[in-house]
Amino acid sequence: MAAKRFLNGAKLQSHYPFTKKPFIVSAPMRLISTPKLALTVSRAGGLGFIGAGSDINHLPAQLDEAASLLSQNPIPNTPDGMLPLGIGIINWGASLSIFTQEVQKWKPVAVWFFAPRSPADLVTWTQAVRDASPDTKVWIQIGTVASALEVAQECKPDVLVVQGSDAGGHGLARSAGLMALLPETSDALADRGLSIPLIGAGGIADARGVSAALALGASGVCMGTRFLACPEAQISQGYRRAVLEAQDGGVNTARTNVYDHIRGTTEWPEIYNGRGVINKSYVDSEAGMSHEENKRLYAAEESKGDEGWGVQGRMTTYAGTAVGLVKKEMGAREVVEEILTEVSGVIGGVKGLCE
Ligand SMILES: Cc1cc2nc3c(=O)[nH]c(=O)nc-3n(C[C@H](O)[C@H](O)[C@H](O)COP(=O)(O)O)c2cc1C
């Protein structure tokens, strides 16, 4: 049974012939995951996603930019007529008509859905993509065993992204870490005869995390926080510095909706919140400061530019618990290559402990 599950990885790879093993994905971080980041990851043998987010009005320009970058420098082994990247959206806020129009026009190799208002919305979006571009694979990010089963049965996605509680940015307010969530999800699907490749997301930042996720039942991994320190990610120097400085993410990051309140992103369905580095906004909120006052101070902090970040600042630094493993600024190509190179050494080391 266990060995059979590893075949899912091979199936996944065959959809994306430009990728290498193990399968590494860069997350669709809203407006941070630029076409440049996504294509650098795909060019290095991973699969990069553009982060179109909830208000997807930027998507046409993002895809124009991707096409222009590719026309100067195509990626070998891209399936005919397709874009060698994925598009990630946040369903609760996105426009289905803009999305399907763009998917039909550009035919990305994958789309990524996350955070619908209701599970039934995912059925509509999945069908719309399959009508618009039958070869585009549908990925859906979930965070519990129950939602994995529901989505698997209702939508029959091509890939399930299993997001654990360590993940940076938004995720379920109540969820488990990947150590339990991946194997339980894998078993629950297998018990019902559902064979869908799983991608582990949340707290993975290097070859050790990748190896562990593969052992837990994932066919590949997705990283967000690790790519924040790449120059291709569209974040300010202050944000990047805050990520590089943060350590010991279990105590120095928190899941909270304070950051949504101060930034005015309060339309998220109630079951979600976001993980970010603990800073003054969070500490003040915990001490009883009202959202109104906190929001006012946040707005004032924005004028400080790069100085408004870090534990003594107020600017929101969404990042996961693995933030302490992100120690230096590094190109996205180097990140992917480093992991691809190191992973078999890690797995070999583990094997040595078992034989
Ligand atoms: C800054 C940031 C922004 C994110 N934005 C999105 C998003 O727009 N859509 C989405 O589906 N996931 C988003 N995520 C979550 C990722 O898809 C993924 O689950 C997460 O990054 C994995 O955990 P890690 O950050 O520990 O690698 C975001 C994550 C981060 C760190």
Q: With DSSP H G I counted as helix, E B as strand and the rest as coil, what are the percentages for the chain, rounded to 5? A: 50, 15, 35
Say whether pLDDT at 71 is over 70: yes
Residue nearest to atom 5 of ligand 1 (CA): 29
Model confidence at 6, pLDDT cuts 50, 70, 90, reads: low
Q: Could you give the CA distance from residue 209 to residue 259 in angstroms, rounded to a whole number?
A: 27
Given this model, what pLDDT does residue 334 score?
Answer: 98
**CA nearest neighbour of 31 among 318, 295, 244:** 318
Neighbours of 334 (CB within 10 A): 12
Identify the band that residue 4 occupies on the pLDDT scale cut at 50, 70 and 90. low
Residue at 67: amino acid letter: A
Distance in Å, CA 224 to ligand 1 centroid: 5
Mean pLDDT of the residues in the chain: 96
| pLDDT for the residue numbered 3 | 54
Mean pLDDT (whole number) for 128-147? 98
153/93 Cα distance (integer angstroms): 24
Res 318: pLDDT: 98
Cα 279 from chain centre: 23
132: exposed, middle or buried (C-beta count within 10 Å: 0-12, 13-18, 19+)? middle
Query: In this model, does residue 48 exceed pLDDT 90?
Result: yes
Query: Residue 10: its pLDDT value, please?
Result: 72
The mean pLDDT of 305-329, rounded to a whole number, is: 97
Ligand 1 centroid distance, CA of 163 (Å): 9
Q: What is the DSSP letter of 305?
A: G
Residues whose beta carbon lies within 6 Å of some atom of ligand 1: 27-30, 32, 51, 53, 88, 90, 112, 114, 141, 163, 166-170, 201-204, 222-226, 318-320, 322
- pLDDT per residue as tens digits for the range 178-201: 999 999 999 999 999 999 999 999
pLDDT in tens, 165-176: 999 999 999 999
Give the model confidence (pLDDT) of 234-265 as tens digits. 999 999 999 999 999 999 999 999 999 999 99
Task: Compute the distance from residue 111 Cα to the ligand 1 centre, in Å.
Answer: 15
* Helix boundaries (H) for the chain: 2-5, 7-15, 35-43, 59-72, 96-106, 119-132, 145-155, 178-191, 207-215, 225-228, 237-245, 249-252, 258-263, 280-286, 291-302, 332-354
Q: Which of 47, 140, 170 to mutate to test the pocket of ligand 1 (most atoms within 8 A of CB)?
A: 170
Distance from the alpha carbon of residue 351 to the mean position of ligand 1, in angstroms: 31
Dump pLDDT digits (tens) for 107-131: 999 999 999 999 999 999 999 999 9
Mutational pocket test of ligand 1: of 30, 138, 234, the residue with most ligand atoms within 8 Å of the beta carbon: 30
The confidence score (pLDDT) of residue 12 equals 87
Q: What pLDDT does 11 receive?
A: 78
